[in-house]
Amino acid sequence: MSLNEDYRSDHSHILGITPIEVVCPTTADEVKACLEKAKENRWDVVVRGAGTGMTGGAVPISKALVISMEKLNAILDIDIPNRVAVVQPGVITGYLQAEVEKQGLFYPPDPASLVICTLGGNVAENAGGPRALKYGVTRDYVLGLKGFWVDGTPFSLGGKQHKNVAGYDLISLLVGSEGTLGIITEITLKLIPLPLHSCDIQAVFKTMAEALHTLANLYTHGIFPSAAEFMDRSCLEAASLYLNKPLDTQDYRLLCQVDGFSEEDVHIQAERLLSYCKKNGALEVEIAKTPAEKSKLWEVRRCLSLALKANSLNKTSHDVVVPPASIGHFLSMLTSWSNESVQLLGYGHLGDGNIHVNILNVGLDKAEWEKIEPLLSQNVLELAVNMGGSITGEHGIGLTKKPYLHLMADSRVMELYRSIKAVFDPENRLNPGKIIN
């Protein structure tokens, strides 16, 4: 297979069109030269990080030049007095995190893909992870961006300043723009003090209502977890089969993390959380302090995506968001739509209402599944929106969620989106067909 073939897809597994050319620039000047060549030839341009996107953002769907940022991967500066890191877009997220932690600093956004995805991709998708509950998402850390508009004109927005309200907030607009408005070649990220201690707590409840009530009321009990994840019985059954391990599958599990700057602070928070869980009916609570204990506690949560895939014929995933108080109702609606052939369930970052919904084919033939899956997807996404939520909390729109964007944006908003795209990219050559048509 030629190199170009490798750049046709991402983790959405949509197979796009073979690129005209794939380039891996090593300097910003080379990016500029690529854009000038594309302009001359009237080629479309698709920028790519590590291709871990789940919605097809980096998949070329027209004859395009693919600019892969994999070699533009240097940490340019970890500036301690200014509390920022300046990076090229191809830096792997987990690598930056490890480097800044050596200096006692912290870059919190933690997509589950952090050992493989790039910071450029994170900025373009506004990625987040479990720690978003306490620390926010990528957008909350981007202070500056440098790069090029599609015609090769350079831009420089923001920088090392931590406050900046001059003019329209183009940085926020570029963050999450999925490579459709500009090409990012340098990112300035805010760093915060590294919490030196943390511990993980798992509480097992007999009912979903008890688990969700506990989660919903933590904030009024002086507890600010850095992560709060939820797993129900169906998830535990799948994990038990996948891990080939007996698990009590009659339970509902809440998995929280608390962190802080001293052992004492973390201990106080953990004790509060434990006693609050017990007060709310927790049958069992487990605390993990060492890396090995923590890893054991997270094993079930971490395997869920693969476990559910392994135990079904087909799987469709959505990363919807609902207001936190609506989580229980949302999950019970998923259960009510399940039957012996199709199972719908939700798990994930329930602290902030970001639910990973899985629609599993456990008994339909291909034709039946292909008929019913889009209807169920539509129902799930509509339900989230009708509850005041969003069709995506992490993975973006790309190609796969494009048919549903109208659920969140009325015709005037869609028109504004198209107008914005036209201002940045009048010839519609930059990642065309993503987010909007």
Q: Which residues bind ligand FAD (CB under 6 A)?
A: 10-11, 46-54, 57-58, 69, 89, 111-113, 117-118, 120-122, 124-125, 127-129, 178-179, 183-184, 394-395, 431
d(CA 101, CA 122): 19
Q: Name which of 178 and 425 has its Cβ closer to ligand FAD.
A: 178
Least distance in angstroms from the C-beta of 198 to ligand FAD? 18
Q: In the complex, what is the shortest distance from the CB of residue 96 to ligand FAD, in angstroms, rounded to a whole number?
A: 12
Please, are residues 17 and 63 in contact by the beta-carbon 8 Å criterion?
Answer: yes
Residue 198 tokens read as 């943390």
Instruction: Report, in Å, the least distance between residue 380 CB and ligand FAD.
Output: 19
- How many CB atoms are located within 10 Å of the residue 187 CB? 28
What does residue 196 show for φ and ψ, rounded to 5 degrees?
Answer: -85, -15
Q: How far is the CB of 245 from ligand FAD (least distance, A)?
A: 22
Which CB, 395 or 429, lies closer to ligand FAD? 395
State the CB neighbour count (10 A cutoff) for residue 100.
22
Q: Of 19 and 53, which has the nearer Cβ to ligand FAD?
A: 53
Task: Pick the closer one to ligand FAD by CB: 130 or 328.
Answer: 130
Residue 415 CB, nearest distance to ligand FAD (Å)? Answer: 22
* C-beta separation of 198 from 324 below 8 A: no
Q: Which is nearer to ligand FAD, 113 or 312 (CB)?
A: 113
Nearer to ligand FAD, 113 or 226 (CB): 113
Burial class (CB in 10 A: 0-12, 13-18, 19+), 412: exposed
User: Residue 118 or residue 316: which is nearer to ligand FAD going by CB?
Assistant: 118
Alpha-carbon distances, residue 96 vs 91, 92, 204, 427 (angstroms): 7, 7, 35, 35
Distance CA(86)–CA(119), nearest Å, equals 11
366-386 and 327-336 helices, crossing angle to 10°: 160
Cβ proximity to ligand FAD, 93 vs 269, nearer residue: 93
Q: Which is nearer to ligand FAD, 225 or 260 (CB)?
A: 225
Give every CB contact of residue 210 below 8 A, 6+ residues apart in sequence.
252, 280, 281, 282
Q: Return d(Cα 230, Cα 330) in angstroms, integer.
A: 14
Q: How far is the CB of 168 from ligand FAD (least distance, A)?
A: 19
Task: Compute the least distance from the CB of residue 354 to ligand FAD, in Å.
Answer: 9
The residues with which 77 forms a beta bridge, in sequence order, are 86
Closest distance to ligand FAD from the beta carbon of 246 (Å): 26
Q: How far is the CB of 70 from ligand FAD (least distance, A)?
A: 9
Please say which residue, 75 or 274, places its beta carbon nearer to ligand FAD: 75
Cα–Cα distance for residue pair 431/222, rounded to 1 Å: 46
Provide the 3-class DSSP secondary structure of residue 264.
helix
What does the alpha-carbon distance between residue 76 and residue 59 come to, in Å, rounded to a whole number?
Answer: 28
- Asked if residues 22 and 60 have their Cβ atoms less than 8 Å apart, the reply is no
Strands 284-288 and 314-321: unpaired
Q: How far is the CB of 409 from ligand FAD (least distance, A)?
A: 19
b/e sequence 194-233, b meaning 16+ C-beta within 10 Å: bbebbbbbbbbbeebebbbebbeebeeeebebbbbbbbbb
